[in-house]
Amino acid sequence: MTRRPGFRACTLAFALVVLATGARAAVNRFPLSRSAWTGVQTARRVIREPEVRRAVRAWMGHPEDRLVLLYPVGSFGRVWASELANWLVALGIPRSHLVLRPRLGLHPNTLWIELLAP
């Protein structure tokens, strides 16, 4: 098989883009445990939660992005994600920047907040 000139450079560039995208995605995923969420009833407690705070700060650095709430399939996960979304809106994040997605295979006691570029 003959390769065109620049094939290796293109392959390297593609790999770097994939790695950079993967690194950003890995850094911008924030797990919220069920135990940390239990009893949250005030905006102060929501924003004190370290993973919520990190997610909001990351979004503030990229306000064109979306915050995706990946929640475990089932009624508890749906209610949990809806509650968190309502708190995030109350804290000033536009509803249009929030996406709720059920995800099969997630641990039932973990919700993930992910920053997703448009």
Cα 43 from chain centroid? 20
In a domain, 37, yes or no: yes
Torsions phi, psi of 101, nearest 5? -135, 125
pLDDT range class, residue 16, cuts 50, 70, 90: very low
Provide the 3-class DSSP secondary structure of residue 102: strand
Give me the chain's average pLDDT, please: 81
In a domain, 107, yes or no: yes
Q: Is pLDDT of 23 > 50?
A: no
DSSP state of 62: S
Torsions phi, psi of 6, nearest 5? 90, -5
pLDDT of residue 27: 62
In the structure encoding, which two tokens stand for residue 111, read together?
A: 């919700």
Number of structural domains found in the chain? 1
In a domain, 1, yes or no: no
Q: What is the pTM of this model?
A: 0.75
pLDDT tens, residue by residue, 68-83: 999 999 999 999 999 9
pLDDT range class, residue 36, cuts 50, 70, 90: confident
In a domain, 23, yes or no: no
42: CATH: 3.30.1330
DSSP E strands in 1-118: the ranges are 29-33, 66-72, 98-103, 110-116
38 or 87, higher pLDDT: 87
Adjacency order of strands within the sheet including 66-72: 29-33, 110-116, 66-72, 98-103
